Amino acid sequence: MTKPSEGKPTFSNLGVSPKMLEQLEKLSFFNPTPIQEKSIPAGIEGKDVIGIAQTGTGKTLAFAIPMIQSLSNGEGKGLVLLPTRELALQVEVAIAKLGRFFGLKSAVLIGGASMHNQITALRRRPNVIIATPGRLIDHLEQRTINLTDVRMLVLDEADRMLDMGFEPQIQKVLATVPSDRQTMLFSATIPEKIVSITKNYMRSPVRVEASPSGSTVKKIAQEGYMVRKQDKIRLLLQLLNTNEGTMIVFTRTKHGAKKITQTLRRLGHGAAEIHSNRSLAQRRQALDGFRTGRYRVLVATDIAARGIDVDHIKFVINYDLPEQTEDYVHRIGRTGRAGREGTAISFIQPEQKFDLRRIERLARITLPLRDLPELPELKIEHNEPEDSRRGGFRGRPASGARPYARSRPSGSTHSSHRSASPNPYRRSETSSTTGSSRRPGASSAPSSYRRPGASSAPSSYRRPGASSASTPYRRSETSSASTSSRRPETSDRRGRDSATTSDTRGITQKRNADSRRPRRDQKRHSSQSTRRVRVSY
C-alpha cells in the first residue's frame, strides 16, 4: 500500500508499538489487510494463531510484525519454516527490511546454497532463522544449530509442506523446540493433517479466517478452454499473440516445463523455466528476469505456485490442471495480488471433466468455458545447424557413409578377400553334403573337414616343411603296430629330453630378451601384467 485510506483500520489500532508504526510508515504500510487485522493482535498478545487466508493477502507481515516486536523486547529467537527456497528468500527480504530498524539479524537456511556460508551466518547468532525443513534437519543432525531458545515458531504454507512430504521433518522440529513457545500457522487450506498438528503441538490456538478455506480472490477473472492435448501449445501461442502483459504458465511435470520453454524461445518469445531440476542460481536468475521484464513468460511447476511475489503478473495459465485440487487456489493467486486485477485461464482436456468439477467445488465457482479460437499453425524454425543440435551422430557425413568403417583395397570385394586367404577349416565347395553337419576334425567327416596334419588330409593342409609320408611327431601310416612297439625306450626318453631342452632354451631366450628391453618398457610390461592379474581376480 502506498497511501493511507480513510475509513479503514490502521496498524495503530492493532496494538503495534509506536516505534514499529514509525517503521511501517517509512515502508509505506498504512492500512492492514484482513488477515493482518485479525491475526496481529492475537500474535502480539502471545497467543497461538491459525490463520486461513488466500495467497497474496499479506500473510508475511501478519507474523513478521508480532515476531519482531516480541524479539526486540527480550531474548530468544524466532524460527520460520517454509516449503520452498523462493518463498524463504522472499520472507527473508521482508523481515530484513523491518528488523534492521530494531537491530535484529536474520539467516536463511535453504537447500542448494552453501552449507559453509550458512554455518558462518549461524555463528553470528541471528535473531530470526528462515529455513526449509530439509536443510534445517541437516543442520540439526550436524549440530550446527540450537533450537532450545526459540520463542516463536511460524509455519507458513503449512499445507504445502505436508503435501511435499515434510511431515516427519516438521514433527522432528516441533519436538526439538521448547514446549512453551508461541506458534503461528498460516495456510490457504486446512487439511486433516494440519488439524492433527494443531491438536498435538498448539495450545488453545485462535482460529482466524480472512476468507473461507479454498476460496479465491474475487478480482481474478477465471475461465477455461476445452482443448485436446496436442493443441495446447497452439492455444498458448494464440493467447500470447492476442494479449499483452506478463504470463506465468503452470505445468505438471518438469519435462513439460522445459519443452514448452524451448518451444516458446524458438518462436521468438522471451521465456524462462523454474522447477526442481534447476539450481538455486538458475531459479533466482529466472525470477529476477521475470520481475525486470527480461522474460515475458515464466513456465513453472507447482514449486512456484506459492510465495512468488511478482506484482505485475497479468495472466496465469493452467497448461495442465494440478494434481492436488488445492494447488489451483495457489496457482491463480499469483495474479490479482494486493488488490489488483488478473486473469486465470485453464486448459481442460475432454477426459478431465471430473477434475474440473472438483476444482469448482473447492473454489465455490462455476468455471465458464470459452469457445476455442482459431489456432495458428505451429512453425518452428531451427536457427542452429543440424549437426550442432543434440542427439544423433554429429560427425556423420552428409552422404550417410560410415566414417570409421574399415577401408578395403580399391577394386576388391568381400569374396576376393575370402579367396585370397582361404580358411583351412571351411568346407570346400566340392565337399559332399553328407558331412555338412559334422564338426571339423570328426573321425567320420570328409577329408575337407579334417584338421591340418591329419593322416588322411591332403598335402595342401599339412604344415609347411612336413613330409607327405610322415611327420616327426606322428607315427607313420605305413608302419605296423609291431614295429612301433619294438621301438627302443631310450629313443622315446631322448625325444622327451630334447623337447624339454628346447622348451628351456626358449624360456632362457625370452628372459635374455627381457633383460635387453629398456627399463621403461620393463616397467610398463610388469605393470600391464600386474594389471591383468588384478582384473582376473
Bridge-based pairing state of the strands 297-300 and 49-52: unpaired
- Taking 60 as the threshold, does the pLDDT of residue 290 lie above it? yes
| Predicted confidence band of residue 363 (pLDDT cuts 50, 70, 90) | confident
Give ∠ CA 437-439-442 in degrees, rounded to 5: 120
pLDDT score for 505: 57
Grid cell digits, residue 258: 522445459
- Concatenate the DSSP letters of all residues of 244-297 into one string: -SEEEEE-SSHHHHHHHHHHHHHTT--EEEESTTS-HHHHHHHHHHHHHTS-SE
Which of 179-188, 293-302, 328-337, 470-479 has the weakest average pLDDT?
Answer: 470-479
Structural domain spans, the chain: 11-209, 220-370
Which of 29-33, 133-137, 234-238, 269-273 has the weakest average pLDDT?
Answer: 29-33
- Taking phi first (over 0 means left), then psi (-120 to 50 degrees means alpha), and beta for anything else, what does residue 346 get? beta
In tens, the pLDDT along 299-317 reads 999 876 665 667 778 999 9
- Taking 90 as the threshold, does the pLDDT of residue 79 lie above it? yes
Give the Cα separation of 40 and 44 in Å (integer). 6
Most confident stretch, 82-96, 369-383, 419-433, 462-476:
82-96
The answer to whether domain 11-209 and domain 220-370 are alike in fold is yes
Phi, psi of 80 (to 5 degrees): -120, 120
Considering the domain 11-209 in this protein, what is its CATH number?
3.40.50.300
Grid cell digits, residue 442: 570328426
pLDDT score for 404: 41
Rounded average pLDDT over 420-440:
47
pLDDT score for 283: 86
pTM above 0.85, yes or no: no
Grid cell digits, residue 424: 583351412
Rounded average pLDDT over 272-280:
88
Q: 248: how many CB neighbours lie within 10 A of its CB?
A: 23
Give the Cα separation of 463 and 432 in Å (integer). 25
Tell me, what amino acid is at 128?
V
Give the CATH number of domain 220-370; options: 3.40.50.300, 3.30.70.20, 3.40.47.10, 3.40.50.2020.
Answer: 3.40.50.300
pLDDT score for 399: 44
| Predicted confidence band of residue 151 (pLDDT cuts 50, 70, 90) | very high
CB-facing half-sphere around the CA of 393: CA atoms within 13 A: 9
pLDDT score for 222: 92
- Taking 80 as the threshold, does the pLDDT of residue 57 lie above it? no
Average pLDDT, the chain: 76
pLDDT score for 347: 96
Residue located via cell numbers 544423433: 392
Where is pLDDT greater, at 306 or 236? 236
Give the Cα separation of 368 and 316 in Å (integer). 16
- Taking 80 as the threshold, does the pLDDT of residue 373 lie above it? yes
Give the Cα separation of 417 and 55 in Å (integer). 78
